[in-house]
Amino acid sequence: EVQLLESGGGLVQPGGSLRLSCAASGFTFSSYAMSWVRQAPGKGLEWVSTLSDSGTSTFYADSVKGRFTISRDNSKNTLYLQMNSLRAEDTAVYYCAKGGKGGPYWYFDLWGRGTLVTVSS
Amino acid sequence: DIQMTQSPSTLSASVGDRVTITCRASQSISRWLAWYQQKPGKAPKLLIYKASSLESGVPSRFSGSGSGTEFTLTISSLQPDDFATYYCQQYNSYWTFGQGTKVEIK
């Protein structure tokens, strides 16, 4: 079955760190760009970060640049998001998404169920 | 940065209605636009990519059109399963989502 499964969310204090993981299965993980998208409670979708299939190109939203790092381990079919210096406004459900091919960038054709990150003291 | 604006924010409709949602980009994005459906507590689901290409498995009552800066998502005959929030997304230059359109029961 083609699926993405996020883990690593939880409650963290402001200024703290957290690492999210996304385990992929059912497709050739190394052939696709992968992304993180978040959704604050009751709000819309916000793109966070994207990593190319080879891992050589990274992209970040201005809101997380310098604090978050996206990476992947193609041997483990896993995507990561290292989140440092967390703020209350980072509280959200974080989704992992697979890139669909075609175009200058990628649309997102498969999504995980999400993992909740809560930043609060 | 490219901004995406959807209208309306909320839409009240009945089963069987034809529904149209509009998405406008702050600059031309050619046809690099996707539409997603999201139900409460669930992950988004891809419906349309490249403005008008229907994702595999998505019912044919969903269709997309447009190019440049103006795009539409149309549901030809609204079904009970279609009550949800819909988002447009540009992928011409990085990625930006619209604010969402909630389709609710009239």
Residues of B in contact with A110 (CB under 8 A): 46
Which tokens hold the place of A37?
């998208």
pLDDT in tens, B25-78: 999 999 999 999 999 999 999 999 999 999 999 999 999 999 999 999 999 999
* B32–A108 CB contact, under 8 Å: no
Interatomic CA distance for residues B77 and A6, integer angstroms: 35
Distance from CA of B32 to the nearest CA of A (A): 7
- pLDDT, tens digit, for every residue of A20-43? 999 999 999 999 999 999 999 999
The beta-strand segments (E) located in A1-121 are: 3-7, 10-12, 18-25, 34-39, 45-51, 58-60, 68-73, 78-83, 92-100, 107-111, 115-119
Q: Cβ separation of A44 and B93 shorter than 8 Å?
A: no
pLDDT digits (tens, 9 = 90+) for A74-117: 999 999 999 999 999 999 999 999 998 877 789 999 999 999 99
Which residues in chain A have their CB less than 8 angstroms from residue B5's CB?
A: none
Q: What is the pLDDT of residue A101?
A: 81
Q: How far apart are CA A110 and CA A10, in angstroms?
A: 23
pLDDT score, position A86: 98
Residues 10 to 49 of B: which have CB under 8 A from any A CB? 32, 34, 36, 38, 42-46, 49
**Are B34 and A107 an interchain contact pair (Cβ–Cβ within 8 Å)?**
yes
A115-119 and A10-12 beta bridge pairing: parallel
- Between the alpha carbon of residue A102 and those of residues A12, A78, B65, B80, the distances in Å are 38, 23, 17, 32
pLDDT of residue A1: 94
CB atoms within 10 A of CB A26: 11
